Chain A
Amino acid sequence: MSGRDVPDADMPNIAGSPRADVPELPDGALDALLTGDLVTGEAGAGLRPAAALLAALTAAPHDDELAGHARVLAEFRRRGLPVRARRPARRRRRSLTSLTARAAAAAAVAATALGGVAAAAYTGALPAPAQQFAHGVIGAPSPPPGDRPGAPQPSHRPGAPQATPARPDAAGPDAAGPAASGLCTAYAHAKAHGTASQKAVAFRNLAAAAGGAAKIAAYCAAVPHPGNSQPGQPAPARPAGHPSHPTGKPSSHPTPHQGRRPSSAPATH
């Protein structure tokens, strides 16, 4: 990363050489893209390709991105905590279980809300830009004509959890359609027979479609499906699977590099 400081002047002047078929995007529209605000009209249409890309950038975690857990947990256990600080942590574990599971679910929902290609693949309701992106990049099917969702919310920031799938104007599974029953069935099946990883994936897909972990029961209860044997069942206490069991092997080798301790934590702002 030693070449980070390339001056902007080294770049071609994009504004001076726009392609005739690519309308220039105004700053306001780009800012809206970052904050997830809906943009309509010509600027909105022009944003869709970039929105698709940002959706893929912020898609739900892939399994291989969660593969280094055992290694980092070993580091966590080795850190120099005083013994008196460890004991209360163990006593508190039981009450923390639901807390951490809830937080994991919330994080999964937020991460999945935008780019949940896997969830959308169940439903066939991938937002058109993302589907088109996948189509262009890897030859996936084109989005159906007429599927023109509003600009998705690529930015994930605290205080504004994404609720795209729950919004009536957003692309997402039809709560009464086959997509919804597919998600509910997939989750029920994973819960009964799946690995922790499969459970986690099915749960977060379903949570994203339902508009939140807390809404899953109601969501699935509203879906008539023979495979959904227990409609109205509340969300499980540990939806994301037991985090102490990594779902993949570490993808990289330990390094002897001694990271320097930060001299101070960044101040809150």
Chain B
Amino acid sequence: MVIGEDFPAVLAAAQRGDEDAFTVLWRDGNPALLRYLKVVAPASAEDVTAETWVTVVRGLDRFRGGEDAWRAWLFTTARRRAVDAGRRRSRRPESPAAEVGDGHWPAAADAAEVVLENLATRAAIAAVASLPPLQADVVMLRVVAGLDTETVARLVGRSPGAVRVAVHRGLRRLARIMTEAGVTR
């Protein structure tokens, strides 16, 4: 998720109410938010993603900062909403398998490629979700959210050193999972 040099203008336009500009922000951020929340709040990822955007839309006018700060805000909000959802729904039975059966099957001519890509991403998300919670969280924040170590550390309430260690452990474990799954090159 990168908008780049146009980000200040896009943000300013969205803050003035321009729907196209806001759509650029949403299209850039939503897939990453959804992937992150599928790892940290698998039972309610879609709902928490929607709640995140409600919060972001309502606070949009007051946001000040560049694209890094924007991403940090998006994922800070998402993480808080996920914690809220976990508290609200902790007594509900979780159904992590439901997602797999609810696949998206487009009718386009290139359906095979789309499905291939979809499954690869889904499998990767499932692999990260199998990590211990802190490792899964920080790997997603570093890789999918694109946040730096210091930002991730503030977000999860750990020291940068602890985050670095958790990311390394998570990546090593993922490498091992992949290797054992037959991915060797």
Residues of A within 8 A of B (CB): 1-6, 8, 10-11, 14, 19, 21-22, 24-25, 27, 30, 33-34, 45-50, 52-54, 56-66, 68-69, 71-73, 75-77, 79, 81, 85-86, 88-89, 92-93, 96-97, 99-100, 102-104, 106-107, 110-111, 115-118, 121-122, 128-130, 132-138, 140, 143, 148, 154-158, 161, 186, 198, 201, 240, 243-244, 251-252, 254-255, 257-262, 264-269
**Which residues of chain B have C-beta atoms less than 8 A from A96's C-beta?**
13, 18, 20-21
When the two chains form their complex, are residues A265 and B64 in contact, meaning their CB atoms are under 8 A apart? Answer: yes
Q: Report B39-58 residues with CB < 8 Å from chain A CB.
A: 40-41, 46-47, 49-55, 57-58
Q: Contact between A262 and B23 (Cβ–Cβ < 8 Å)?
A: no
Minimal Cβ-Cβ distance residue in A for B128:
A57
Give B97-133 as 1s and 0s: 1 = Cβ < 8 Å from A's Cβ atoms: 0000000101010101110111111011101100011
Residues on A with C-beta less than 8 A from B162 are 8
* Residue from B3, B49, B118 in contact with A103 in the complex, judged by beta carbons closer than 8 Å: B3
Q: At the interface, is chain A mostly helix, strand, loop or mixed?
A: helix
Q: What are 18 pairs between A and B in contact, CB < 8 Å?
A: A19-B180, A22-B179, A58-B144, A66-B30, A72-B53, A72-B57, A81-B17, A86-B17, A93-B20, A96-B18, A102-B6, A117-B116, A121-B117, A158-B67, A261-B59, A262-B77, A265-B59, A269-B151
Minimal beta-carbon separation of A138 from chain B (angstroms) = 5
Residues on A with beta carbons closer than 8 Å to the beta carbon of B124: 53-54, 56-57, 133
Instruction: State A59–B34 Cα separation when bound (angstroms).
Output: 13
Known contacts A24-B172, A47-B175, A121-B112; can you find 13 more A-B pairs with CB under 8 A?
A6-B133, A22-B180, A30-B171, A52-B178, A53-B178, A57-B125, A65-B34, A100-B20, A116-B117, A132-B185, A136-B181, A158-B67, A255-B51
Task: Give the secondary structure class of B's interface.
Answer: helix
Q: Report the separation of the CA atoms of residues A88 and B17 in the bound assembly, to the nearest whole angstrom.
A: 9
CA distance A148 to B181 in the complex (A): 19
